[in-house]
Chains A and B, each alone.
Chain A
């Protein structure tokens, strides 16, 4: 069973559309994340949720809205897609916050291409 799974794996869409990427983890972790990897391969955190509560929100346009219906799910909704949103989006989870040493487990990524 995949520990952190995200869907879809590939998504091609037109500018201006609204799309969602779903993420689920079956590890029983309290914390989930969204990371973005751009064309230059830089991997940057976007959001972090702990038990459905937003704890990290980097400087991300408000077109990006994470939603956590429960602690096992963290979905990413993107409004009015732009060409610059093309990237690989990684969902991740970790067992707990505020304790040094916890590790983060990543999903396989969702390749978003905006045309």
Chain B
């Protein structure tokens, strides 16, 4: 199973870009990288996912290195409401639905 490594915590000033790194050096060729976040006392929320190419949606951008061993989630203009735990997840195996959550990165956005 591909493992992910994330820093335990990060700070970001409101209005600045938040760049959250994730290492997944054992990822296999057909595994996707997913990002979820969990705001305090709420259920996890899907943010974005990708396989090889960089991806962007209304919430964030996902940059995946060419060797796919690491990725970065970018929140372009962080707000206080983005304070949450961010999870980088690699699917356990193709064609299964099991997501394994690690300890994530606690992002604190400050005014």
A binds B: yes
For chain A, the count of residues having a C-beta within 8 Å of the partner chain is 27
Bound CA span A90–B43, Å? 7
Point out the residues of chain A lying under 8 angstroms from B30, CB to CB. Answer: 100
Point out the residues of chain B lying under 8 angstroms from A31, CB to CB. Answer: 97
Point out the residues of chain B lying under 8 angstroms from A15, CB to CB. Answer: none
The answer to whether B97 and A42 have CB atoms under 8 Å apart is no
Q: Does A33 interact with chain B (Cβ within 8 Å)?
A: yes
B47, closest chain A residue (CB): A103
- One digit per residue, 1 when the CB lies within 8 angstroms of any chain B CB and 0 when it does not, for chain A 88-115 equals 0010101001111111111111000000
The answer to whether A97 and B97 have CB atoms under 8 Å apart is yes
| Interface residue ranges, A against B (CB under 8 Å) | 4, 31, 33, 41-45, 48, 55-56, 90, 92, 94, 97-109
A88 to chain B, nearest CB (A): 9
The answer to whether A101 and B42 have CB atoms under 8 Å apart is no
B42, closest chain A residue (CB): A108
Q: Does B7 interact with chain A (Cβ within 8 Å)?
A: no
Can you name 4 extra interface pairs (CB under 8 A) apart from A56-B97, A99-B95, A106-B45?
A44-B101, A45-B98, A92-B44, A103-B46
Dominant SS among interface residues on chain B? loop
The answer to whether A109 and B98 have CB atoms under 8 Å apart is no
4 A-B pairs closest in CB distance: A106-B43, A43-B101, A103-B46, A98-B95
A50, closest chain B residue (CB): B97
The answer to whether B95 and A100 have CB atoms under 8 Å apart is yes
Known: A43-B101, A103-B49. A109 touches B95 (CB 8 A): no
Q: Does B17 interact with chain A (Cβ within 8 Å)?
A: no
B56 to chain A, nearest CB (A): 16
